[in-house]
Structure 1
Amino acid sequence: MKQGLARMVRNNIKRAVIAGGLNAAHVLARAGLMAGARGRGAVFTLHHVRPKLERAFDPNAHLEITPGFLEDTILALERGGYRFVPLEDLPGCLVSADERPFACFTLDDGYRNNLEYAQPLFERYGVPFTIFVTAGYVDRTHTLWWETLADLLSVRREVRFDFGAGAETLATGTLAQKQAAFDRVAAHIHSADEASAVAALNSIAAEQGIDPYAITERLTLDEDGLRASINCPLASLGAHTISHRAVARLSDDEARREISTSAARVEAIAGRRPLSFAYPYGFRPTVSPRDHRLVADFGFAVAVTTEPGTLSSGANPHALPRISLNGHFQNTRHVAALASGIPFRLVAR
């Protein structure tokens, strides 16, 4: 329990330090310092967009923002002189003579609340957006393990899990213990064979009366929902693999199959081949130069990571950084600071 409490304290301190750094970057940006760090523009990453539900245990809170914060972000960028462009237009924007900064909005995984809460705001302000489709979620053949794990730990005071050396019992009675268990299982999923680890988690959840596939159905858009979304001329669909596994950890054949089959699935829904791709997870080491080459070979014009940063004219269009709209930092000062590029420039020094 002491280790779990220490972890929670460290996380709180980390968030406070990040918030302080973002506030400082905002001051520098307002003063006109380090203006070159802004680059040509930025791509923003969203996941859930929905009214906040208070949950005692909420390990995925960073993956959701409120509709109000999204609207505030759009308005703040407008005041900052940003123009909103479709993600597929980025290669042209990066070499354009138009010096106005641009912003793109992307939503990963295809959650139902994207259609219910985010799309009306994008329509109201004329903002193009791209939803990245995980085909296994659309077809209800794969599960969102982080949502399954959160639901499981929320209702259990202990959980048995096999990390490769035999099943062991994880205490999950307190919030600190739940978070420690979540972090440990997540690390295992990222370090082991991902498909097998997720299957094991799904089995444990099912034994406790939790249906991981029902979670997928409840949270993500089906084919009809995605078609309803792209009835909006501002919307486009991008590919996000079949299984949402880290592409860099797959064999060449598996990686090709995940990328090409997901593109075909999106084409079947949208009626046209997708021009954009998002790497699942998107951070190093879940993406590799091999993967950049593969998406280029399959004809994608743009591929995005979750490595943080703004965009420069020389950016690799198949390894573009994005700025996460993080549920822990729903403050327009923080958005302005991130869009300025100053935090990324300072960290790189």
Structure 2
Amino acid sequence: MQQGIRDCLKRAAISGGLETAIILKNLGLMRDAAGLGAIFTLHHVRPPQPRRFAPNAHLEISPEFLDRALTRLKRDGYDFIALDALPERMASKGDRQPFAAFTLDDGSRDNLDHALPVFARHNAPFTVFVAQGLSERTHSIWWETLADLLDRLDHLTFDFGAGTESFDLDRAGQRQAVFARFATYVHGRDEREAVGRVDELARKNDLEPLDLVCASIMDRTELKQLVAHPLASLGAHTVSHRALARLPEAEAAAEMALSADYIAGITGRRPAAIAYPYGTADAASSREARLAAELGFAIGVTTRPGTIAAANAATTLLPRLSLNGHYQKARYASALASGIPMRQFKMLLRP
């Protein structure tokens, strides 16, 4: 119950901050916060799918909202550019209209079915970041596995390391609290081991994690179909989708290099960009930015919220703005692009 109340209060505060940012933007205040432009990040683009329990709702937006957001940004004067063109755009001199680049993480099939038609309608280039292990069905998506598992169960037992605990999932707010407990567990220890235990728990309850991957993630054939479109490109997103900053350097570098090789095998050329899994400060550090540059990536993107500033020379550790499923109003995309929420309210709209 307490977790639910906190979530509601946080969303209300964020919505209020975004509304205030729109007012300040319309008054012509804090114009410098917008910088040169912005990189937007998305995950799922698909029609709403009502569920009893939806802890990952922030990761999905409707095609209609994407269409409205692009229309609003275009009206605001944004130039839609390919992500690969960003370093040159950042280095260019003189006054240019602000730019917006669009990225989608993980390679969901709805990126092909629902996002592509919207981007095509607006002539907006976009980059899909692909994790090899998901595309090749060798790795699971733990947050999706957990969402499905907790939605179907009314009672759960699990040992987080201090003995077996039991959870009555019918209690108000308990599913969300347990989901948060698992997220802390995954990020607080060896991620491969933790995800393996989540998968094992799912299989014991007749849920196959790799079936969820097959149902939602594009395979190699579908990725080739996607990049046949002139507006679409692929970027690297590692093999296993683990937090790189928590891996030994050699292992992190291997994840990045193998991911680039995989994309090159699909498109015929090595990708210019990589998205660091999770993308938070504790998951992607200056070490990863250095490794990306050494491996030949021109661009590395995080999920740290922010616009692209003229003085930002670290093109392998760039911020992005999340189009969040809890805030599907076109004016909110405009508010985010203004940079005002991050400058004035210090909000972290994480994907």
TM range (shorter): over 0.9
**Equivalent AA in structure 1 for residue 318 of structure 2:** L
1:269 matched to which residue of 2?
A: 266
Matched, 1:68 2:64: yes
Q: What amino acid does structure 2 have at the position aligned with 1:91?
A: P
Structure 2 counterpart of 1:282, from 279, 283, 304: 279
The 4+ residue runs of structure 1 with deviation greater than 4 A are: none
Partner in structure 2 of residue 90 of structure 1: 86
Worse overlay, 163-172 or 227-236: 163-172
Question: Which residue of 34, 40, 43 maps to 2:36?
Answer: 40
Q: Which of these residues, 128, 138, 142, is aligned with residue 131 of structure 1?
A: 128
The CA deviation at 1:332 is 1.2
Q: Deviations over 1:229-252 (max 9, x none)?
A: 000011110000000000000001
Counting only pairs closer than 5 Å after superposition, residues 80-159 of structure 1 correspond to structure 2 as 80-96=76-92, 97-159=94-156
Instruction: Give, in whole Å, the separation in 2 of the partners of 1:25 and 1:167.
Output: 47
What whole-Å deviation, never above 9, does each CA across 1:125-170 have from its counterpart, x for those lacking one? Answer: 1100000000000110001000000000001112122212232222
In structure 2, relative to structure 1, the CA distance for the partners of 1:130 and 1:189 (3 Å cut) is: same
Report Cα offsets for 1:8-34 as digits up to 9, x if no partner.
011101100110010001000011001
Change in 2 beyond 3 A, CA 1:178/1:348: closer
1:344 is matched with 342
Tell me what 2:159 maps to.
162
Which of 182, 201, 222 aligns to 2:198? It is: 201
SS at match of 2:324: coil
Q: Is the 8 A contact 2:17 2:345 kept in 1?
A: no
Give the counterpart of 1:319 among 308, 313, 317. 317
Q: 1:183 maps to what in 2? A: 180
Number of aligned pairs? 345
TM-score scaled by length of structure 2: 0.97
**Amino acid of the residue matched to residue 17 of structure 2?**
G
Check the 8 A contact 1:57/1:175 in 2, yes or no.
no
Contact 2:46/2:63 (<8 A) preserved: yes
d(CA) in 2 for partners of 1:348, 1:220: 33
Match of 1:252 in 2: 249
2:306 matched to 1:309? yes
C-alpha distance after superposition, 1:243-284 (max 9, x if no partner) = 000000000111011000011011111111000000000011
Between the aligned partners of 1:330 and 1:175, the Cα distance in structure 2 is 26
* Mapped partners of 1:6, 1:91: distance in 2: 45
Letter matched to residue 59 of structure 1: P
Question: Residues of 2 paired with 1:56 and 1:111: CA distance?
Answer: 22
Q: What letter is aligned with 1:107?
A: L
Match of 1:23 among 6, 19, 22: 19
Unaligned runs of 5+ in 1: none
State the one-letter code of the partner of 1:270: T
Q: CA deviation at 1:175?
A: 4.8
Equivalent residue for 1:231, pick from 221, 228, 233 = 228
Q: TM-score with structure 1 length normalisation?
A: 0.97
Which letter maps to 1:332? Answer: A
2:215 aligns with 218
For the residues of structure 2 that align with 1:266 and 1:285, how far apart are their CA atoms?
Answer: 26
Cα distance, 1:171 vs structure 2 = 2.2
CA deviation after TM superposition for structure 1 residue 42, in Å: 0.2
Residue by residue, what CA displacement relative to the aligned partner does 1:176-208 show, whole Å, maximum 9, x if unpaired?
A: 110000000011101111110000000010011
Q: Percent identity?
A: 48
